[in-house]
Amino acid sequence: MSKKTDELRRQRVTTWEKAKAFLDGNRNENGILPAELKPQYDAMEKEIVDLGHEIERQERLEEMERQMALPINTPITTRPDMSRDDGKTGVASEMYRKNFWNAMRTKKPSAEILNALQEGDLGEGGYLVPDEYERVLVQALEENNIFRTLANVIQSSSGDKKIPVVGGHGSASWIEEEGTYTESDESFNQLTLGAHKVGTLIKVSEELINDSAFDLPSYIATEFARRIGNAEEEAFVVGDGSHKPIGILHSSLGAQTGVTAAEKTLITCDEIIALYHSLPVPYRKKANWLMNDATVQFIRTLKDGNGQYLWQPSLVSGTPDTILGCPVKVSRYMPEIAAGAKTVAFGDFSYYWISDRKGRSLRRLDELFAVTGQVGFRGDQRVDGRLVLPEAIKVLKQKA
């Protein structure tokens, strides 16, 4: 952790201590902050949130600088191989990669380029991205989609993915001397993960494409990951399964309701603690909280029976804030506190499975935006997701 990040973390903790002292010193007899003092507390709360975002940005910057400082090649320790064959074939080969980006930069690729891309031709005018670049896209997706860092991500080459799930557990019984063993078998169900298409159109000016200094692959990767990542995360949270994945908040196939709040627009400390204990003990070891920023802001004001605040800021680089000792993750797609909304999820999100269909594709569109001097790039991928064990995640639902 750099000195700057360390200082930002100390500043955030200091602001949080001031906010706690302000709350404790100004609550009325009902334990509520007077309305005329709320703007002062909101200003401190905003500073805590802004500092958190700045710490995240700084850590990403430090990681990028670390990656850029790595050697771009390795020392030659053996006799150089003068052949051009890198040992890889198909979309994994260096020849494919080179010709793929030549095709993306060129309005009318030569026959030589098109021939080299035959193995990645999808028959729709698009091409599979090179293997190495697909790994870059996946890494960028993880940075833009908090769910991918929590879920279990699997790869499939084609067809639906069948997942066996335990529907019921067997049990043991006490047996008398020379008694008979009672049969008790596991029961299994089967879930299917398919492949829903999600895509985006990215526009780039012709001048930038013709500029050899412009890093077209990095730009496309950044935009692809930002747009696709947002669409994915929304589906993984609230998706209804209609041409998209089934989200964890699905009414019948999503997480189980652990606690129903007594109020439509409030959450109490006891309800958060009850949600924690509604999750079976085996799933708590890897459990995370998931909610939106406004809900985190509300929970920051809650105390337990010992007068301790539930929310605790992180002091160590790379570690998240916690509630009751478990990490807090933020998703903009979790509902805000409102009547009937499922506002807080708590559990082991590795039981949400994401199936990536291998082979993300990219197609250059020359004529669609020609009138504005731009070139379009149509990118898409196939993905599905579903919670395979509903009891592994519990949600808090507001009063209807």
Query: Could you read off the pLDDT of 209-244 as tens digits, one per residue?
Result: 888 788 889 999 989 999 999 999 999 999 999 999
Q: 23-65: per-residue pLDDT in tens?
A: 989 988 888 889 899 999 999 999 998 998 888 888 877 776 7
Question: Domain containing 113: what range?
Answer: 90-127
Contacts 24+ apart (CB under 8 A), 93-96: 96/120, 96/130
> Is there a single domain that holds both residue 349 and residue 372?
yes
Q: What's the pLDDT at 82?
A: 44
With respect to residue 384, please indicate whether it lies within any of the assigned structural domains: yes
With respect to residue 80, please indicate whether it lies within any of the assigned structural domains: no
Q: What's the pLDDT at 246?
A: 96
Helices (H) and strands (E) in the chain, counts: 11, 14
Other Cβ atoms closer than 10 A to 40: 13
Q: 269-325: per-residue pLDDT in tens?
A: 999 999 999 999 999 999 999 999 999 999 999 998 888 999 999 887 778 899 999
> Is there a single domain that holds both residue 117 and residue 133?
no
Question: Do the beta carbons of residue 93 and residue 103 sit within 8 Å?
Answer: no
With respect to residue 122, please indicate whether it lies within any of the assigned structural domains: yes
- Number of domains present in the structure of the chain: 3
Distance CA 130, CA 260 (A): 48
Question: Do the beta carbons of residue 396 and residue 259 sit within 8 Å?
Answer: yes
Percent of the chain with pLDDT over 70: 90
pLDDT band at 166 (very low <50, low <70, confident <90, very high): low
Give the torsion sign (CA, 345, 347, 349, 352): negative
Q: What's the pLDDT at 136?
A: 86
Distance CA 161, CA 170 (A): 26
Q: What tokens appear for 243 in the block?
A: 């041409």
* pLDDT above 80: residue 162: no
Q: What's the pLDDT at 184?
A: 61
Percent of the chain with pLDDT over 90: 48
Distance CA 7, CA 87 (A): 48
> Is there a single domain that holds both residue 155 and residue 288?
yes
> Is there a single domain that holds both residue 260 and residue 321?
yes
Q: What's the pLDDT at 68?
A: 63
Distance CA 127, CA 119 (A): 9
The strand pair at 161-168 and 187-193 is best described as antiparallel
Q: What tokens appear for 177 in the block?
A: 């001397």
The mean predicted confidence, pLDDT, of the chain is: 86
pLDDT band at 373 (very low <50, low <70, confident <90, very high): very high
pTM of the model: 0.81
With respect to residue 176, please indicate whether it lies within any of the assigned structural domains: no
> Is there a single domain that holds both residue 307 and residue 336?
yes
> Is there a single domain that holds both residue 110 and residue 226?
no
Q: What's the pLDDT at 78?
A: 53
For Cα atoms 250, 385, 220, give the angle at the middle one, nearest 5 degrees: 120
Lowest-pLDDT choice from 72-86, 135-149, 305-319:
72-86
Distance CA 76, CA 36 (A): 70
Could you write out the three-class secondary structure of 51-106? Answer: HHHHHHHHHHHHHHHHHHCCCCCCCCCCCCCCCCCCCCCHHHCHHHHHHHHHHHHC
> Is there a single domain that holds both residue 348 and residue 391?
yes
Q: What's the pLDDT at 83?
A: 44
